[in-house]
Amino acid sequence: MKQILKYLKRLAAIALLICLFLPLSQCTTQTAYGDKQVHLKYAYNAYTWPSTDAVLALFIFFWPALLTAIVMFRPKLGNNIYLGFTELVLSAGSAYVLIIMLLFSTQILYGGYLALTAFTVYFLSTLGIILGVVWAKWVQRKHKMSSMTQV
């Protein structure tokens, strides 16, 4: 089960990188002459450069792939509870930033839906991995305590 969760997490990180280049939403504005203009919002053009918001918009799509690559090269970090909690906080915060980006749009496009789904899958798979590690440590500790009382 843990392997499936790790693969889902990797797949979600790759999907978030792909979402960086997909249109997230569109805004329709009307000019003074009555013409309608449609603006597609991508992660890289959501905010004007240089600004903190623009860097944050790109960061929320990059950090899952970065952490996934680090864990692939350092597999022991995959069982680190502190890294898992950091990933949970980052994924919840990133989903919040993405929702704020999509909130004032006229229509959410497939990139936005894919990004929201990927953050949800990343969050839930990280939560499952953390609960599995905590459960294994608890069972190991309980087994150790019971073997000490039998002696």
- Output the pLDDT for position 32: 73
Amino acid at 62: F
Query: Following CA atoms 110, 115, 117, 122 in sequence, which dihedral angle do they give, to the nearest 10 degrees?
Result: 160
* Percent of the chain predicted with pLDDT > 90: 34
Higher pLDDT, 149 or 4: 4
* Band of residue 4 on the pLDDT scale cut at 50, 70, 90: very high
Mean pLDDT of the chain: 86
Q: Which of the residue ranges 47-51, 78-82, 118-122, 145-149 has the most confident prediction, judged by mean pLDDT?
A: 118-122
pLDDT of residue 151: 54
What is the reported pLDDT for 118? 94
Which pTM does this prediction carry? 0.83
pLDDT, tens only, 96-147:
988 888 888 888 889 999 999 999 999 999 999 999 988 888 888 877 777 7
- Split at pLDDT 50, 70, 90, the class of 150 is low
The CB-based long-range contact list for 126-129 (8 Å cut-off, 24+ gap) reads 126/9, 126/84, 126/87, 126/88, 126/91, 127/88, 128/1, 128/2, 128/5, 129/2, 129/5, 129/6, 129/9, 129/78, 129/79, 129/84
